Structure 1
Amino acid sequence: MDSIRKGTRFWIGGKKWAYEAAASHGSALMYSEDLNEYQEVKLGDLVDQNLEGTEYAIPPLENKATIEDWSLAEFRYSTLKDHIEAGDRKISELAAGLELSEPRAYALIKIFKNSSGPADFIKDKPGVKLGKRLIGSRVEAIINLAIEQKWKGPGTNIASVVKYVDELCHKAGLKTPAAGTVANRISCISKSKLAMLKDGHKVANDRYQARPKKNQSSRPLAKAEMDHCLVDCIIVDEKTRMPLCRPWATVIIDLHTRVVNGYYLSIDAPSGFSVAQAITHATFPKDDWLAHLDLEDISYPYYGKLERLAMDNAKEFKSKALKIAAIKNAIRLLYRPPGRPWWGGAYRAVVRNACGRIYTFSSWYHVE
C-alpha cells in the first residue's frame, strides 16, 4: 500500500483526524485538532474504505461540486502526482501543464503533500465566503457591548442599539458600521438570548427552554399537586365595608383527572396547619362537609388516599410533622427542583379557576 505521510487526514467516527506517527502493534497515532486529543487506530481501518467512518477526509465543498469541478480536481491531482514522482521536473513545466502561474503551482504542491486525494483540489467559488465578517474585531466588540447594554427592557429596538454603536465608535475613533450590519449581528443572536437580555431569565426560559419530560398520571389518586394561591377576591368588613385582606387557598389537584380533591381557605398565611387541613379534606368523603354547608343537593365524590404528592420547597411543605405523616400513610412526597416552576404546570393551569369557584362554593370561615 502507499505510505502515509504525517498530516494526512482521515474521517474517524465522523471526526477529522490527522496522521502523526506509527504506533505499536500495527497502529497509527492520530490527532484531532477539534477535540485536542490523540488516539491509536489500526492501519487497516485507515486504508479499507469499505469500513464505516474510514474514508479519507473530504472537504465540505464536495457536496456542492459539479462534474466539471471534479474533472478539474482529478486533472490537477494526477498532474501534481506525476510531477512529484518525476522528481527532476522544473516548476515552470508544472505551471505550464496546469495552466497556472508558478506561485499558484507552488501552492498546489503544498496542498498535494498533505492531500488525501482529488477531493482536496475541488475549486472553491470566488468572492466573499458566506458568513465572513468584514468589519474589524474592535468594531465587532463595540457592537456586542451595545447589544448587551441597550437590548434591555420592553422598549428595546434596533435603533437604540445602532445609535449607541455610533456613539461608542465615535469615541473610539472608529468608523461606524452601517445600521444593516448592526441589525444583522442582532439577528445572528439566538432568540432565547435576546429574550433573556430583554425580558430576563424567567421569560426566556418559559418561552424557549425545552420541556422534554411529561408530567403524567395513569390513574386517579396516583399523583397530585399541592400549592398555595391568593384568591382573586377581597374580604371586607361587615359593617364598614372596608377591605381587609385576600384569603389564601391551599389546593390539591389530581393530576390525572384535574379535579380539586381538597382545599383549605384561610385569612392566615400558609402554614403547616393549612397543609394538614387540605390533605385531610382531600382524603376523606365530603358528604358531612357538604351537609354542614347546607349543600346536600351537590355531589362531590372525589376523595381518597394519595399515592404521590408533588409540591415546591416551601417551609410548610418540609415540616417534620408532614414527613412523618406521609411515611405512616405511605404517601410519597415529591419536591419540585429549585428554580423550575414549570414542574408545577398542572397546578398553575387549574388553580386560578379553581380558587374562584372554591370561594363561591363556600365561605372561608366554614372550612374545617
Structure 2
Amino acid sequence: MTNSTISSDALSNAIEGGPVFDRMLVYSEEDWAHMSRAAGLFRAIKKLEPGSRVRSLATHEAAFLLNLNRSTIYRLLKKFEGEVVHLFPRQPGPSRGIKCLSSAREALVQTVLKSDYLTKQKITVAELERRIEKACERQGLKKVSRTAIQDRINRLDQHMVALRRGELLKAEDLTLRPGSYDVRAPMERWQIDHTPVDILIISAIDGEVIGRPYLTLIIDVATRMIAGYYISWDRPSARSVAAALLCAVGLKGPLLERLGLQGDWPICGLPIALHSDNAVEFAKSVPYRRGCENYDIRRELREIGKPRDGAHIERLIGTMMARCHFLPGTTFSNIRQREKYDSAAKATLTIDDLEKWLVEQILDYHERRHAGLGCSPRQAWEAMCRDQEIAPRWPKDFQQFYLSFLPSHRATIQRQGVQLLTLEYCGPVLQELRRHMNEKVELRYDPHDLSKVFVQDLKGLWVPVASRYPDCPRITLWEVQAEQRRRRLLELGPARGWMIITEIVRRRAARADASRLTKSERLARERASAATAVEGLAGQGVNNLTTWTRLMEGGK
C-alpha cells in the first residue's frame, strides 16, 4: 500500500456526532478518492478479531499509511460506521443547532420574531435588528448580532414564514407541484386574462401619443391555440370579455380579411369551460355568469393567491409582451429595462397598426414548435380534432351571444321608457313588456355606443331600444360620465338627456378644431372614433365550416 496524501488534520477532525450532511464540504475527486481508500482500510481492520495481534499490526500499518498516530486511528475506528462520509472533517465553529445566546436573550429574539417579523407588515431584517436591540436595552441585556438574528430566521420553515408575511408568490415557489394541469381535448378548457400592452400608441389623426392600450387574450389549454383577442383603450371590463369571446367563438375569416392578412386561424366554437382569475368582470359580473350558464360554458375561477393555475395564459401574455419589446415606442416591462429609451419619442404605431401586428404574431405563434407539445399549436389542434372527432358548438345567433356578455343595468319601465345615466330610451318592445306587467327590465349596453340599449323581449331575445332623442349620435359611456363630472365641478346643476348629448357633440367639434389637446382629450377622441369591428364579427353566420369539414375528413 502506498502512502496517501490525505492530511492528518482532515481525518483527525472528523466530526463527533450530529447529522452527516451538516458537515459535508465540497471535495474534489482526488480528495474523495483518498478518503475512500482510508475508509477501505478501516473496513478491513473492523473485520479482524478485536484484540488480536493481526488487528494490532493492521492498525499500526494504517497509522503509518495515513500519517496519523495510533490513538487517532483507534478513535476513528470507534466512530467509523462503514461510510466514507464519517471521515469528513468537521467544519469550523459550533455545530449546527447549538444556541450560544443566553436563555433570556434567546427568548427575547423569539418573541420579537413572532410579534414583529412574522407579520404582513414585512419589516426588513435591519428593522428587526433595530427593534431587538431596543428591547435588549430596555431589559438590560447584551446586544444580539445580525448574524445570530439571521441564523434564527434561516432555521424557521421558510414556507411558513412566507405565508405569515403574506408573500404568497414566494410560498408558491417553495411548494413542490409534482402534478400537471392536464387537459387533453381541444375546447375542453380556455383561459382568459387581460394586460396593458408594453407600448405607447399614437393617434391616427394627429400623431400625438395617447397612451398604452389594453389587451385581452384567450388560449386553448390543450393545443395552445390562441382562440381570440381584443385590443382597446378601455380598462378590462365586461365589454372587453364580450368582445374577446366573440372573436374566439366566431370564424376568423372576416377578421383576417378586414386586416388584409393571409392565413388560416381554424379555432372557433363554444368552449366547455372558461378559466379566469377573480377580477370583477369575471367573479362578480352577472352578465358573465349568466352568459356562461346560458351557453353551457362551465365558469372556473382560480383560487386566490395561486397564479400557477393560470400559467398557460400568463405565459402567453409574457411571450407576446416580449415580442412587443422589439416595436418602436415600447415601454418594456419596467424602468430598469427601459433605462434611457424615450418611448414617447419613438412611438409610431396607431392602435390599428398594433392590432394588425398582433394578429400577425398570433398566426406566426400557431406555426412555431411549442416545447410543451413537441409540435406547433396548429399541428396539435388539427391532430386532436381529427383523432377525437371534435365538432364545434355554435351559438344560434352571434349578435345575441355578444349581447349576453355586455354590461347590464336594472331599470324600471316608466311612461317615457327606460333610463340609463340620465339618457332615456323608448321602443315598441318596452310597450309590450309593460302591458304584460313586466315593469322591471335588465338592460344590456355597449359602452362605446349609448345611442341604443338592448332589452329582452317576451321570447328571450335581446332587442335594440333606440334613444328618445332624434338623430342621437354614437356617444360613449366615458363622454357621458365626463360631462356629468364637469357639470358637478362647475356647479352647473344636473343635466338630462338632450342637454348632455348636445354638449358632447359641441366638445367633439371643439376638439376637432383645437391645435393642441391634452392626453385625456386625445383618448376621448380615439374612443369616439373607434372602429366597429366587433359589430362586424357579431353579424357573421356559421355557414362556412370548410376548415372543420376538412379536419373531419382526415385532411391536413
Residue 156 of structure 2 corresponds to which residue in structure 1? 189
Q: Tell me, which stretches of 5 or more residues in structure 1 are unaligned?
A: 1-127
Residue 262 of structure 1 corresponds to which residue in structure 2? 228
| Structure 1 residue identity aligned to 2:217 | V
Residue 310 of structure 1 corresponds to which residue in structure 2? 275
Residue 289 of structure 1 corresponds to which residue in structure 2? 255
Is contact 2:162-2:168 (8 Å) kept? no
Is contact 1:236-1:245 (8 Å) kept? yes
Is contact 1:260-1:354 (8 Å) kept? no
Q: 1:312-364, CA deviations, whole angstroms, 9 ceiling, x for partnerless residues?
A: 22232243333333233221111122333332111111113336577423598
For 1:59-98, list aligned pairs within 5 A. none
Distance apart, 1:298 and its partner CA = 1.9
Residue 136 of structure 2 corresponds to which residue in structure 1? 169
Residue 194 of structure 2 corresponds to which residue in structure 1? 228
Residue 324 of structure 1 corresponds to which residue in structure 2? 290
User: Against the structure 1 CA distance between its residues 197 and 314, is the aligned structure 2 distance closer, same or farther, given a 3 Å change threshold?
Assistant: closer
* Identity percentage of aligned residues: 26
User: Against the structure 1 CA distance between its residues 166 and 314, is the aligned structure 2 distance closer, same or farther, given a 3 Å change threshold?
Assistant: closer
Is contact 1:227-1:251 (8 Å) kept? yes
Q: Which has the higher strand share?
A: 1
Structure with more relative contact order (C-alpha pairs < 8 Å, separation 6 or more): 2
User: Against the structure 1 CA distance between its residues 218 and 182, is the aligned structure 2 distance closer, same or farther, given a 3 Å change threshold?
Assistant: same
Residue 25 of structure 1 corresponds to which residue in structure 2? none
Is contact 1:218-1:256 (8 Å) kept? yes
| Structure 2 residue identity aligned to 1:331 | I
Distance in 2 (alpha carbons) for counterparts of 1:145 and 1:242: 58
Distance in 1 (alpha carbons) for counterparts of 2:264 and 2:195: 25
Q: 1:246-304, CA deviations, whole angstroms, 9 ceiling, x for partnerless residues?
A: 11112111111222111111111222222122112111221121111111x22222223
Matched, 1:276 2:242: yes
Is contact 1:234-1:246 (8 Å) kept? yes
Q: Tell me, which stretches of 5 or more residues in structure 2 are unaligned?
A: 1-93, 325-353, 361-529, 535-556
| Structure 2 residue identity aligned to 1:302 | I
Is contact 1:249-1:263 (8 Å) kept? yes
Distance apart, 1:230 and its partner CA = 1.0
User: Against the structure 1 CA distance between its residues 181 and 316, is the aligned structure 2 distance closer, same or farther, given a 3 Å change threshold?
Assistant: closer
User: Against the structure 1 CA distance between its residues 191 and 273, is the aligned structure 2 distance closer, same or farther, given a 3 Å change threshold?
Assistant: same
For 1:1-368, list aligned pairs within 5 A. 131=97, 133=99, 135-145=101-111, 147=113, 149=116, 156=124, 165-177=132-144, 181-193=148-160, 200-211=166-177, 213-238=179-204, 240-295=206-261, 297-317=262-282, 318-354=284-320, 359=355, 360-361=357-358, 365=531, 367-368=533-534
Is contact 1:150-1:160 (8 Å) kept? no
| Structure 2 residue identity aligned to 1:284 | G
Distance in 1 (alpha carbons) for counterparts of 2:155 and 2:314: 34
Distance in 1 (alpha carbons) for counterparts of 2:208 and 2:105: 61
Query: Which 10-residue stretch deviates more, 160-169 or 251-260?
Result: 160-169
Distance apart, 1:184 and its partner CA = 3.2
Query: Which 10-residue stretch deviates more, 314-323 or 333-342?
Result: 314-323
Distance apart, 1:222 and its partner CA = 0.9
| Structure 1 residue identity aligned to 2:311 | G
Instruction: Provide the TM-score with structure 1 as the length reference.
Output: 0.54
Q: 1:93-126, CA deviations, whole angstroms, 9 ceiling, x for partnerless residues?
A: xxxxxxxxxxxxxxxxxxxxxxxxxxxxxxxxxx
Is contact 1:285-1:303 (8 Å) kept? yes
Distance in 2 (alpha carbons) for counterparts of 1:294 and 1:215: 37
Q: 1:227-262, CA deviations, whole angstroms, 9 ceiling, x for partnerless residues?
A: 111111122234554332211112111111222111
Distance in 2 (alpha carbons) for counterparts of 1:135 and 1:238: 70
Instruction: Provide the TM-score with structure 2 as the length reference.
Output: 0.37
Secondary structure of 1:192's counterpart equals: helix
Is contact 1:293-1:366 (8 Å) kept? no
Distance in 2 (alpha carbons) for counterparts of 1:177 and 1:276: 60
Structure 1 residue ranges (4+ consecutive) displaced by more than 6 angstroms after TM superposition = 150-155
User: Against the structure 1 CA distance between its residues 243 and 205, is the aligned structure 2 distance closer, same or farther, given a 3 Å change threshold?
Assistant: farther
Secondary structure of 1:330's counterpart equals: coil
Over aligned residue pairs, what C-alpha RMSD do you find? 3.6
Query: Which 10-residue stretch deviates more, 200-209 or 247-256?
Result: 200-209
Secondary structure of 1:214's counterpart equals: coil
Distance apart, 1:146 and its partner CA = 5.3
Distance in 2 (alpha carbons) for counterparts of 1:167 and 1:326: 58
User: Against the structure 1 CA distance between its residues 186 and 237, is the aligned structure 2 distance closer, same or farther, given a 3 Å change threshold?
Assistant: same
| Structure 2 residue identity aligned to 1:169 | C
Is contact 1:166-1:176 (8 Å) kept? yes
User: Against the structure 1 CA distance between its residues 367 and 154, is the aligned structure 2 distance closer, same or farther, given a 3 Å change threshold?
Assistant: farther
Secondary structure of 1:252's counterpart equals: strand
Is contact 2:218-2:226 (8 Å) kept? yes
Residue 110 of structure 1 corresponds to which residue in structure 2? none
User: Against the structure 1 CA distance between its residues 184 and 326, is the aligned structure 2 distance closer, same or farther, given a 3 Å change threshold?
Assistant: closer
Distance in 2 (alpha carbons) for counterparts of 1:154 and 1:201: 9
